[in-house]
Amino acid sequence: MALWAGQARIGSVEPDYLSRMALRSGLVQAQTRGGESGWCIMGEPTESLRELALAMRDADLAPNWRDEQLPVTDESGRRLGTVERAVVRPLGITTFAVHLAGLSPGGAHWVQQRALDKPNDPGLWDTLMGGMIPADDSLQQALARETWEEAGLRLAQLAQLQHGGRISIRRPTADVQAGYVVEHIEWFRCVVPEGVVPVNQDGEVAQFRLMQADELIERMLRDEFTLEAARIFSALTCSSIT
C-alpha cells in the first residue's frame, strides 16, 4: 500500500504492517487516492517519521538502529524531510547511494568481500566501495568519506576518477520483514595506481582482492556478488565497449 506524507508519495508498506505497533492516534491515516489505498503520515514529515521510527523500534521492527538520518523525497526527488536509516526498507522509502568501481592499471578489478556480520548481503562480493548517502552529505562528500572508511583511500590517490552513471534498484529484501529496496545509485570508476592497496577502516569489509574479468564474471553467474555490484560491473563493461 502507498505511503504518503502530505500530498507526496514517499514509500510503500505491506497492508497490515502499521497495525503491528502501537501508534499515537492521528499519526497516520488510512486514505484512498485515485482508487489507490494507502496510509498518510500526518504532520511535519521529519518529526512524524521520527515518531513512527521509534514506535517501530519499540515493536522490534527496526533492527540495526543507526542514529543516522537519510533524506526522504517525493517521486520527483524533491526533499521533504529525513528519517532514521533502520526503517527505510520496511517503509519502502527511496534511498540514495554511491559506489566506486576500481580498476588496476592492467585492467583487473579491485573488489571487496562484505563482512560476514553485515546485516545485508553478508559475505558477498561487491565493488571497491559502496554506501548510502546520509541526509547531511552531498554526493561528493559521501564519495570521499565512504572511499576512506571502506577502502582507506583518499580521492587524490586515485587516477581517472569519473562519474559512470546511475542505476536504480527496486526489489524485495530478505534483510528485514516485509522490506523493499528502492534505491538510486550514482556510480564512479577510477584506476587504483600500482602499489596503492585498499585497507578497510570501519570493520565492514572482510577482504579486498584484485579479480580478473573472467573470474569476476564466473562469480557473478554463481550469485556471489551483490545485485548492485553486478549491475554496476555490467554497466562498466558496456561503457568500456562504447
pLDDT in the model for residue 239 = 62
pLDDT in the model for residue 179 = 82
Q: How far separated are the first and last CA of the chain, in Å rounded?
A: 41
pLDDT in the model for residue 237 = 78
Grouping H, G, I as helix, E, B as strand and the rest as coil, residue 163 is strand
pTM for the model stands at 0.93
Q: Where are the domains of the chain?
A: 2-87, 95-241
98: part of which helix (H) or strand (E)?
strand 95-103
pLDDT in the model for residue 200 = 97
pLDDT in the model for residue 242 = 43
Question: What does the pLDDT look like over 50-61, one tens digit per residue?
Answer: 999 999 999 999
Strand stretches in 6-75, DSSP E = 8-12, 28-33, 36-41, 69-73
Low-confidence ranges of the chain (pLDDT < 70): 175-178, 238-242
pLDDT in the model for residue 176 = 66
Question: What does the pLDDT look like over 156-179, one tens digit per residue?
Answer: 999 999 999 999 999 888 766 668
Check residue 192 and give left, alpha or beta (phi > 0: left; psi -120 to 50: alpha). Answer: beta
Q: Which CATH architecture has domain 95-241?
A: Alpha-Beta Complex (3.90)
